[in-house]
Amino acid sequence: MATEKIPTFCRVCESSCGLIAERDGDTVLRLRPDKSHPVTNGYACLKGLYALDIHHDEDRLNYPLTRINARGDAAGRFERRTWNEAAGDIAERLRAVLRQYGSSAVGVFIGNPVAFNSLLSPAIGSFCARTGCSRVFSSGTQDCTNKFAAGEAVYGTYTLHPIPDIEHTRYLLIIGENPKISHMSFLSIADPMAKLKAAQRNGAAIRFVNPRTIESADDVGAVVPIKPDTDLYFLAAILHEIRRRGGFREDVIRAHGRNAEGLVRFIDRYPPERVAAVVGVSRDAICEVARDFSQAEKAAVHVSTGVNMGRQGTLAYWLVQMLSFVTGNLDREGGNLYSLGFYQAAKSGRPKTDDPFFASPFGPLRTVAGNLPGNLLADMIEQEQEPIRALFVISGNPLLSMGGEERMRKAFARLDLLVTLDIYRNATGELADFLLPCADMLERSDINTCGLGMQHEPFVQLTEAVVSPRCERKEQWWILARLEQALGLPSVLDTEGYDPFGRIDKMLSHVGLSTAALKSLSGHTALLPKPTPGRFYSDWLQTPDKKVDCCPLLFAEAIADAERIFQELAQEPEDLLKLITLRDGFMHNSWYQNVETLKKEGRRDNPVHMNSRDARRRNLEAGARVRLFNAWGAVETTIAIDERLRDGVVAMAHGWGNGQTPSMTVAHRYPGVNVNRLLPSGPGSYERMSNQAHMTGIPVAIEKLSP
């Protein structure tokens, strides 16, 4: 049979790069960037292209497996089952849990790849509604719920996140993000570095705020080297200085804002001269950013996980919105704009109540976009009253992706039922009772919903499944519907003529499109209008009075706490080491670990990065074996000298630690260590307002081990 070329798109990160899959029958021969894609234009990174290796990986989970030894045993032993057997057995175990403990005993953990699977979220919603499961956790509380909480409070909806208009801006502030490596988040943009370079050529100044002189800054802009977990004060000082310079647009604030006096009261406390020592940036450097931002004809700002994962991500994201708003850059060309795309998502994220908190054994608690704090997952399994007894992990690997691996291991061992839906028998799956094999991105049809409301150049693309799922792999929406069926609940599998794309068709109808219409277009892709200013305050802002809330009441406690944390930071010993996050281009969180070709020399473990001054001070050298430890845990690794880091900061990549994941043979051969053993978990380890886990700027100590 002749090779066919199928246009599809990558579903690993938000860029959604167009790909061409070359197919012969049911075999994918090659994946390459789609040069004719109208938006992503032939760009793709290694991860997108190596998705083919994952598709073909011999270690993939191909059949439903059920555990045959005790869960406490170190190595899991599993046997193959048919889908009917697995679904029946899971249903029986789940029914027993429901009978004995009620629906509060059922939990779901939603991992990051769910965001890139347009048919899955509604299926999860249905599964939770029908089983009564209300204890939902997700990787969102590891990377972005601070943005949801702040968006909801300031703009009245958690789905409104104005993106920087990179093309037209004159000044771009990027805080806690490394576009060259991550390709950005909450901004769907292919080949971000090319776009940043073009912006710079057009005269835009680009400043990164980061404790590390990141790779992105090798190509564009410059880094303001901040101390970790202090961004809130840096932002407050910038706003303070802009106001002192008369840079607040009082007309805009009057027309569109409320509670501006609350904002002013907050930033009044943090003049650059007070903040400088704590944030580790000189007064002059802070003032320079303030001056350049406010004097720029148009200025834009974007923040990402480096800020989200600090202790005060919600307040920091609030000040980011304020920076844009009070300088008149919100909803202005070259400033920050809402990117509509194919559906008015901003209108569907309004809060349900004014006071979202409810009482719990862990103190007042809330959900954010439906999510409980991931950092309470182990606690909620171990709590005496109403514990979680059954957990479904859907495309996630919480054992490695969150703080507290040991606590989680112990907690998971107490469950009556642990089911994972994954493409691998990953570290979490190793502890499961049932492993359900899932279709990968080449095996399922989809549209690119993940970037909705945040696309640099909006487009919508439909892809067919390039090939049908190998062996017994199934699409996850089908798996959940099959479980509903086995539980005797209503299920879409019993609905005659059920169309999984029905909901998407409804959404697409807002722009006069449908999946059928997309099929008739070249590459099954429709270009949509670029973001433009003009409708933010009238249409997208969702507060009841149509005003931007410049100091939401909900923040009162966090604002009071900010001063306490400031004082604490000011008193920290000079030689305290802080651990920050680090991504590399060959990994995607904990997956891509099993791709042999990506495990070249130098990428076979995850050493701790430290600059040579800090190393020398501690009598350490490149390659030295060290133990890194704190109150939460310890890991043993080696030193990598990294002059990009500022003094007092160490960095380590996450997603490693597969020493107990034997069925991922490559990952197991190059296990690395799980840096998240050093992260806090449990009460107090997440931001109260947003449930976001505290994951960067973590105090650690280091000691040399004998070789």
Ligand X SMILES: Nc1nc2c(c(=O)[nH]1)N[C@H]1C(S)=C(S)[C@@H](COP(=O)(O)OP(=O)(O)OC[C@H]3O[C@@H](n4cnc5c(=O)[nH]c(N)nc54)[C@H](O)[C@@H]3O)O[C@H]1N2
**Site of interaction with Mo ion (CB under 5 A):** 143
448 binds ligand X (CB under 6 A): no
| Least spacing, CB of residue 44 vs ligand SF4, in Å | 4
- Rounded Cα gap, residues 477 and 276, in angstroms: 51
Instruction: Compare residues 513 and 569 and give the one whose CB is closer to ligand X.
Output: 569
**Least distance from C-beta 603 to ligand X, angstroms?**
12
Torsion angle of C-alpha atoms 421, 422, 424, 428, degrees rounded to 10: -60
Q: Least distance in Å: CB of 143 to Mo ion?
A: 3
Q: Which is nearer to ligand X, 304 or 685 (CB)?
A: 304
Q: 98 or 172, CB closer to ligand X? A: 172
- The two beta strands, 525-527 and 459-463, are antiparallel
**466 near ligand SF4 (CB under 6 A):** no
In the bound state with ligand SF4, the residue whose beta carbon lies nearer, of 31 and 160, is 31
Nearer to Mo ion, 588 or 646 (CB): 588
Q: Structure tokens of 199?
A: 């912006």
**Chain centre distance of CA 255:** 34
Q: What is the Cα 54 distance to its own chain's centre?
A: 21
For helices 260-268 and 313-326, angle between their N-to-C axes, nearest 10 degrees: 110
Helix (H) or strand (E) holding 28: strand 27-33
- Site track for ligand SF4 across 33-72, x = CB under 6 A: -----------xx-xx------------------------
Q: What is the DSSP string of 633-655?
A: -EEEEEEEE-TTBPTTEEEEESS
Interactions with ligand SF4, residue window 161-190 (CB under 6 A): 183
Site for ligand SF4 in 601-660 (CB under 6 A): none
Query: At a CB cut-off of 8 Å and minimum separation 6, what does 73 contact?
Result: none
Q: How many residues bind ligand X (CB under 6 A)?
A: 60
Q: Which stretch binds ligand X (CB under 6 A): 298-306, 465-473, 508-516, 522-530?
A: 298-306
User: Under the criterion CB under 6 A, does residue 16 sit at the interface with ligand SF4?
Assistant: yes
Nearer to ligand SF4, 142 or 188 (CB): 188
655 near ligand X, rule: CB under 6 A: yes
141: partner contacted, choices Mo ion, ligand X, ligand SF4, none (Cβ within 5-8 A by kind): none
Please report whether residue 580 would count as binding ligand X according to CB under 6 A.
yes
Tell me if 609 contacts ligand X by CB under 6 A: no
**Residue 106 Cα distances to 418, 422, 634, angstroms:** 10, 19, 31
CB of 479 to ligand SF4, least distance (A): 24
Partner whose binding site includes residue 48, from ligand X, Mo ion, ligand SF4, none (CB under 5 to 8 Å by kind): ligand SF4
Query: Using CB distances below 5 to 8 A depending on partner kind, what does residue 580 bind out of Mo ion, ligand X, ligand SF4, none?
Result: ligand X
Residue 691 contact, options ligand SF4, Mo ion, ligand X, none, Cβ 5-8 Å cut-off depending on partner type: none
Strand bridging mode 577-582 / 698-704: antiparallel
Question: According to CB under 6 A, which residues from 65 to 124 bind ligand X?
Answer: 111-113
Determine, following the binding rule CB under 6 A, whether residue 587 of this chain makes contact with ligand X. Answer: yes
Q: Considering only CA atoms, give the Rg of the chain.
A: 25
Q: 10, 59, 180: which is closest to 595 by C-alpha?
A: 59
Task: Check binding of 547 to ligand X (CB under 6 A).
Answer: no
Using CB positions, name the residue nearest to Mo ion. 143
The H or E element that residue 20 is part of is: strand 18-24
N-to-C CA span, the chain:
57
- Give yes or no for residue 441 binding ligand SF4 (CB under 6 A): no
Q: How far is the CB of 178 from Mo ion (least distance, A)?
A: 13
The C-alpha atoms of residue 381 and residue 390 are separated, in whole angstroms, by 9
Q: Which residue has the tokens 């998502």?
A: 345
15 binds, among ligand SF4, ligand X, Mo ion, none (CB under 5 to 8 A by kind): ligand SF4
Tokens 């000691």 appear where?
703
The region of 178-186, 289-297, 457-465, 615-623 touching ligand X under the rule CB under 6 A is: 178-186
**For residues 116 and 114, what is the distance between their CA atoms, to the nearest angstrom?**
5
Would you give the DSSP letter of residue 376? G
Q: Which residue is nearest to ligand SF4 (CB)?
A: 48
Instruction: Tell me the three state secondary structure of residue 536.
Output: helix
Residue of 694, 705, 703, 652 whose CA lies nearest to 307: 694
C-beta separation of 146 from 692 below 8 A: yes
CA dihedral angle for residue 597, residue 598, residue 604, residue 608, rounded to 10 degrees:
170
Q: Does 204 bind ligand SF4 (CB under 6 A)?
A: no
Residues 182, 15: contact at Cβ < 8 Å? Answer: no
Per partner kind, with CB cut-offs from 5 to 8 A, the member of ligand X, ligand SF4, Mo ion, none near residue 44 is: ligand SF4
Alpha carbon of residue 197 to chain centroid: 25
Q: Where are the beta strands (DSSP E) in 608-691?
A: 608-610, 625-629, 634-641, 649-653
571: which residues sit within 8 A by CB, 6+ positions away? none
Q: Taking the complex as a whole, how short is the minimal distance between the CB of residue 666 and ligand X, in angstroms?
A: 13
* CB of residue 58 to ligand SF4, shortest distance in Å: 22
Per partner kind, with CB cut-offs from 5 to 8 A, the member of ligand X, ligand SF4, Mo ion, none near residue 10 is ligand SF4
* 15 lines the binding site for ligand SF4 (CB under 6 A): yes
| 181 scored as a contact of ligand X (CB under 6 A) | yes
**Burial of 185 from C-beta contacts in 10 A (0-12 / 13-18 / 19+):** buried
Choose among 458, 422, 415: nearest CA to 440: 422
398 binds ligand X per the rule CB under 6 A: yes
Judged by CB under 6 A, the residue of 583, 603, 668, 704 near ligand X is 583
Comparing CB distances to ligand SF4, the nearer of 41 and 360 is: 41
Residues at the site binding ligand X, with contacts judged by CB under 6 A: 13, 111-113, 139, 142-143, 175-178, 181-185, 209-212, 214, 226, 228-229, 231, 304-307, 310, 395-398, 401, 421-424, 426, 438, 440-441, 476, 580-581, 583, 585, 587-591, 654-655, 675-676, 695-697
Residues at the site binding ligand SF4, with contacts judged by CB under 6 A: 10, 12-13, 15-17, 44-45, 47-48, 183
